[in-house]
Amino acid sequence: MITLTEENYIKAIFHLGKQGSATVSTNALAEAMHTKASSATDMIKKLAEKNYANYKKYQGVSLTAEGKLVALNIIRKHRLWEVFLVDKLNFTWDQVHDVAEQLEHIKSQKLIDELDAFLDFPTHDPHGDPIPDKHGKFEHVEKTSLSNAKEGGSYVCVGVNDSSVDFLKYLDNNDIALGTTIKVLHKEPFDHSIKIAIDGRELMVSQVVGKNLYLKEN
């Protein structure tokens, strides 16, 4: 039996290390979970005890193969529910996260299999993130951040690094969505702001926006 809290910690370790393989520091994990380092230590011990995590004192934590499967399964559920909310229940991409955080913990294999079929086996969630299949496999989305894009290049928006309401609404307000074509006009060396063109309309975006917007060459 795995608790809801354990699932959330496992997911956090997965996201902080690259797919859970890299070692994650206690402090980083505590911060991600909005708890204190002492709480994170306790949970890390428990996860190691249950064979979901690799842990040596003072050496950080990573996921075992079993832990990775758990993480991928939760992520699969989270992203499928996000698709459901947007495609079927008129949620916008900035409204889905908190609800999906709850729904991802519902335990029923049939539920998630049927939901997958009902949604016609989607491969990506509303933020462009790939949805693992039932075996945990998913295609790596090829992408560069806008900050790393080439001046003069033409790209299409394929994802976001930050799924916060503020950032997603900012994108909405500026008519940037998944699939939007973006041309990189000028990268300002001074403050790393970037001038881009969307449908012929010019827009100046900050470095923070540049780092959180994922593109693919067009």
Partner DNA sequence: ATTTTTATTTAGATAGGTCTAAAAAATAAG
Partner DNA sequence: CTTATTTTTTAGACCTATCTAAATAAAAAT
Q: What is the residue whose two structure tokens read 């908190």?
A: 98
Residue 163 and residue 182 in contact, taking contact as beta carbons nearer than 8 Å: no
Residues that bind its own copies (CB under 8 A): 85, 88-91, 95, 98-99, 102-103, 106-108, 110-111, 114-115, 118
Cα–Cα distance, 76 to 192 (Å, whole number)? 35
Query: Of 103-162, which residues contact DNA (CB under 7 A)?
Result: none
74 binds DNA (CB under 7 A): no
49 binds DNA (CB under 7 A): no
Which partner in Mn ion, its own copies, DNA, none is near 121 (CB below 5 to 8 A by kind)? none
Residue 92 and residue 172 in contact, taking contact as beta carbons nearer than 8 Å: yes
Which partner in Mn ion, DNA, its own copies, none is near 110 (CB below 5 to 8 A by kind)? its own copies
Residue 199 and residue 154 in contact, taking contact as beta carbons nearer than 8 Å: no
Residue 160 and residue 212 in contact, taking contact as beta carbons nearer than 8 Å: yes
Residues in contact with DNA, counted by CB under 7 A, come to a total of 27
DSSP code for 24:
B
Of residues 18, 34, 110, 140, which one binds DNA by CB under 7 A? 34
Tell me, residue by residue from 67 to 106, as one string, x for binding to Mn ion by CB under 5 A and - for no binding. ---------------x--------------x--x------
Give the distance, in angstroms, between the CA of residue 197 and the centroid of all CA atoms in the same chain.
26
Cα–Cα distance, 196 to 180 (Å, whole number)? 12
Of residues 53, 125, 128, 196, which one binds Mn ion by CB under 5 A? 125
- Give the residue with the Cβ less far from its own copies, 12 or 96: 96
Residues in contact with Mn ion, counted by CB under 5 A, come to a total of 6
Cα–Cα distance, 87 to 102 (Å, whole number)? 18
Q: Which residues contribute to the site for DNA (CB under 7 A)?
A: 3-6, 25-28, 33-46, 55, 57-60
